[in-house]
Structures are given as C-alpha cells and as structure tokens.
Amino acid sequence: MALAEAGEQADTPTFSVRQLCAWFGDQRVLHGINLGIPRHEATAVIGPSGCGKSTFIRCLNRMHELVPAARVEGQVCLEGVDVYERGIDPVLLRRRVGMVFQKPNPFPSMSVRDNVLAGLRLTGSMPTGRGAREEQIVERALSQAALWDEVKDRLDDPGLGLSGGQQQRLCIARALAVSPDVLLMDEPCSALDPIASAKIEDLIHSLKQSYTIVVVTHSMQQAARVSDRTAFFLAGSLIEFDTTDRIFTSPKDSRTEDYITGKFG
C-alpha cells in the first residue's frame, strides 16, 4: 500500500496546471497555460521580463489574487486537488506552498531566530511543548537553508544585520520552518552577488531531495545549472516545456532557440 502510494506520487506531478489564465484588471497576462510540475524536482521558469513567469508561480499559491483587480481562471491541481475550488482556503494552501521573493524580506523588527519562527508564530501553529522544540525547529530550518554554521552564534541579532545573501537564505529557512511541500522562488538571486547566488543554487540542489521547487529566473545559465525541467514563457504563453537538457540543447520551438541563444530578451 505504502509502496503503491509512493509509486503513484512519483508519477503524478505535484502541480498539474490546466488552461490557466490570469488577468490584472482588463489586461490578460497568462493565456491558457498547461503544464505538470513533477515532485521533488527543480523546475525553472524562464522568459523575458513581462512574460508572465512571476504571475504564473504566484497563481500556484494563490498570491496573485491578493493584488486588487487580479483574477484567475483555469485549474491548478496540487496533488489532485484543484486549489481554486470552492472551499479551499488560500491561507492553508500557502502553508503547503511556501514562497521566497526577489528581494530578501526578513521581518525588520525580528532577530534571526524569530524570523525563522515567524511563520509558526504568525499562524499560531507553534508546536506545543516549547523550549527545546523551538531550538530544534530553528536549527533544522537554518541547516536546511545552509545558514546554520554562519549564524548559530548570533541567533538573537537582528535579521537585517545579515548580508544580502544570508538574508535570502534566512527567508528560505523561514519558508521551510512551516514545513511546506513545495517551495516557489521568484528570482531569488536577482538582488544578490554571484557568490551569494552560487550558494542559493547549491541550496536548490540539496532542497529538491525533499521539496518540489519552482524557480523563476531571468538567468538562463542559472536555469541550466539548477533545474531538471525548464518552462519557457513568452508574452503570457507557455512556448515550450521539457527537460532542461533538451530545452538548452535541442529546443523544438524556434522562439525558444532564439531566446536561449540570446537573440532577444
């Protein structure tokens, strides 16, 4: 039974997206996207600015609808359940689908430790029997985010005192502390220097053992380095979706080829 379940999960994608359309007011920014995001893999979403790649991942955890006048149509199934179905609480969905943003955004008034615990505290879902347990959560999340060794002696310092790259890994730790299944990353390295970016990329490699990862990036090199599959978006449409190898070595669509060879974008 357990085996059968595991086998099934390996086959059915974590996210299957069908005919997804999104609007800002009257402006349509996504045109009928269809794609499946496999479990415990890193999927990169690439494309020129304004192609709808950020909007796309924000539809996956229903952050898109927080923008006034934003609207979504179509289906986004997370392990078989349509997240846009009536009765689905977006708040609970977001606890399963964490997100990391372009600019590191640790909570400015909180220490490193409190930032990691922020998700649990905000939502009032701190496990009972505190003390040691709290320390465990902090250590586990920070270790997963490859930050523990750098900050273990200054857990009570303000989170904003860390460097930009450390702040971004702190935000990753904060997202991991609520134990999501999926981690969405919206250009997580665009505000970072190359060394800090490399650390985040290494992190993506290790995190995909236990999490499904979707990463939006404007850097094709980054997509090639970190992802198993790549989706190429252009003007709100999904042009091509395949394994990263094939996208970068033998793309089927000429527009994908033009983009990855730097003819536009």
CA atoms of 105 and 115, how far apart (whole Å): 10
Q: Is 61 in the site for other proteins (CB under 8 A)?
A: yes
C-alpha closest to that of 17 among 49, 67, 58, 68: 58
What are the Cα distances from residue 24, in Å, to 20, 178, 238, 242, 251?
Answer: 14, 30, 18, 28, 31
CB 64 within 8 A of CB 58: yes
Q: Is 198 in the site for other proteins (CB under 8 A)?
A: no
CA atoms of 33 and 231, how far apart (whole Å): 11
CB 17 within 8 A of CB 74: yes
> Least distance in Å: CB of 123 to other proteins?
5
Nearer to other proteins, 125 or 254 (CB): 125
> Least distance in Å: CB of 216 to other proteins?
14
Question: Which of the ranges 49-57, 65-73, 146-154, 212-220 carries the binding residues for other proteins, by CB under 8 A?
Answer: 65-73
Q: Is 158 in the site for other proteins (CB under 8 A)?
A: yes
Q: Which of 109, 136, 221, 250 forms a contact with other proteins (CB under 8 A)?
A: 109
Q: Which of 82, 107, 143, 190 forms a contact with other proteins (CB under 8 A)?
A: 107
Q: Is 68 in the site for other proteins (CB under 8 A)?
A: yes
3-state secondary structure of 132: helix
CB 229 within 8 A of CB 241: yes
Q: Is 91 in the site for other proteins (CB under 8 A)?
A: yes
Q: Which residues bind other proteins (CB under 8 A)?
A: 61, 63, 66, 68-69, 91-95, 98-101, 103, 105, 107-109, 118-119, 121-124, 158, 160, 171, 174-175, 178
